[in-house]
Structure 1
């Protein structure tokens, strides 16, 4: 398939925003049970929510660049019963609204107690809003991943690993950004976020490597014979059927060589997983910590953009049997 950079920015930016919000709420949940130091709502949770919201808005803006008629975008939500894209269109603004309310509640210290646990632990409104946001964040990961995983004819995508990778890669980038944010706003949470960022990054490496191995073993179900409906044993394609390019050759094929794809694969494996994990581990030694953490996030995000490009490019549409080979 032909990777659209608007979709690459959409999926990576909202993934960071989701992951950062999950990191914030995870820290609040731990602090609720005195497993982590409590943080000031205004300085930490409100500002962190603002950063997460900015990434989500950036992803939303990027989504409009691959729409032919942006003014009709609202119609994409009408098929929510059968379309994962429609569900994503509904869940994304709901999640953004929840992140906004979460940040506002912390900003103005609006924390009325909603319930009290048996141990005397008070559950205030921010915890309730955060729990709703937690559910919506994972629902959004699932919706985004299932847009691609539900396509049976694109076998490279049609796997549960697609959804798992969206969750882990978004979570890894979000927790890495949370580490950078904590280094500036809450130093006593740096090790917590860095540890989880490294763990999720390594889990993402395992999951993404598993999908690469799986895809490398796929055997095409279609042939030239089935593509054109002729059962002759010897069919040789001499031309694409077009004097120039067409929608079929532009949108369903990336136009890059096998060597280029192989290079991108190793680049994203290093930048998205190996290098960030090493940088986070080095930063925890205390030498240039904030700078190394910031570099880790930037490098990882660039790696995730390369990973997402490869994800789209690797999907081999069956129509390419007919349109791409030139004798």
Structure 2
């Protein structure tokens, strides 16, 4: 498949935004449980603002992939059957809850609304945070299922697609939370960094499993089945046209196998070992810069990972377009 950069930015930006919001809510829950020191409301408010900016930027980038952007609202019409429609509906809900969570902290709306048990006091920030957490996980599923639900693209049609989108997005968000904490001199760098490393390692296992699965796929279609000829030595010499077309542009990346392999190696290095080593070095040196570099490296790697993810998929229609006369 052709990796459209608008979709690459969409999936990586909203993933980091969701992950950062989840990091903020996780920090608040740990503080409520007294495992972490309580942070000022402005800490959560600014973090939510950054998450919201990433979500808006991701949404804006998606419009560059539309032929008729003014009709984008129609994408929500098929919510009963389309994961894309569900994503279009859930994304604004997540944005609204992130916005509400940030505003509630900024305005100091921390008076208890009700009590659960003897000690847990639920205020507006906690309620919005929990609702936003559920919506964020729903958005991860919706976004990933747009691709995992395509049965004829065997590389995508696996639960590992959903797992990868979720853990890699959460890892980048927690890495950003560590970078944000380091930038403002907050002591939660270690907390967020540790969670970022854990999520990154889980993402590594999941992504390697995905790569291994795709490397051993048994193709359901061949040139023989595509044209209905059983001969064992069928070779396509021409596609019947003298130039490219929509099909050759949109359903094939147009790069050599060596380029695809290089991009795969780049993301395996930048997404996983580099940020982990940088975060580990930050623990030792107490550097405020290394966590920021860790996030930048990982995000660049995630862009390469998402490019590789799209390029991995072999559309069956390419059986008809293997060569240009």
The CA deviation at 1:220 is: 1.3
Alignment gaps of 5+ in structure 2: none
Spell out the pairing of 1:60-139 with structure 2 (5 A cutoff): 60-139=59-138
Computed over aligned residues only, the root mean square deviation of the Cα atoms, in angstroms, reads 1.2
Whole-angstrom CA distance in 2 between matches of 1:241 and 1:36: 66
Deviation at 1:312, TM superposition (A): 0.1
SS in structure 1 at match of 2:219: coil
Structure 2 counterpart of 1:323, from 296, 321, 324: 321
SS at match of 1:91: helix
Structure 1: which 5+ residue stretches go unaligned? Answer: none
**In the alignment, what sits opposite 1:55?**
54
In 2, the alpha carbon distance for the partners of 1:108 and 1:129 equals: 14
Match of 2:33? 33
Distance 2:2 2:322 in 1: 13
Is this contact kept in 1: 2:243–2:324, CA < 8 A? no
Q: Is the 8 A contact 1:39 1:186 kept in 2?
A: no
**Shift in Å at residue 183 of structure 1?**
1.6
Deviation readout 1:88-128 (Å, 9 max, x if unpaired): 00000000000000000101101231222323231111100
1:260 aligns with 2:259: yes
Deviation digits for residues 260-305 of structure 1 (CA, Å, limit 9, x no counterpart): 1111111100001110011001011125x22111111111000000
Corresponding residue for residue 237 of structure 1: 236
Q: CA deviation at 1:234?
A: 3.1
Equivalents in 2 of 1:214, 1:29: separation in Å?
A: 37
| Post-superposition CA distance 1:58-80 (Å, at most 9, x none) | 00100000000000000000100
The whole-number CA distance in structure 2 between the counterparts of 1:16 and 1:217 is 31
**Corresponding residue for 2:18?**
18
Q: Relative to structure 2, which stretch is displaced further, 114-123 or 158-167?
A: 114-123
**How far off is 1:27 after superposition?**
0.3
Residue 173 (structure 1) aligns with: 172
In the alignment of these two chains, the number of paired residues is 325
Counterparts of 2:13 and 2:111 in 1: how far apart (Å)?
32
Shift of 1:326: 5.8
Contact 1:37/1:188 (8 A) holds in 2: no
2:187 & 2:235 partners in 1: Cα distance?
66
Deviation of 1:18 after TM superposition, in Å, equals 0.2
Task: Out of 49-58 and 317-326, give the one that drifted further.
Answer: 317-326
Q: 1:207 matched to which residue of 2? A: 206
Q: Distance in 2 between matches of 1:77 and 1:229?
A: 39
Give, in whole Å, the separation in 1 of the partners of 2:232 and 2:218: 19
CA deviations 1:133-154 (Å, max 9, x no partner) are 0000000000000000001100
SS state at 1:237 partner: coil
Alpha-carbon distance between aligned partners in 1 of 2:6 and 2:228, rounded to the nearest angstrom: 36
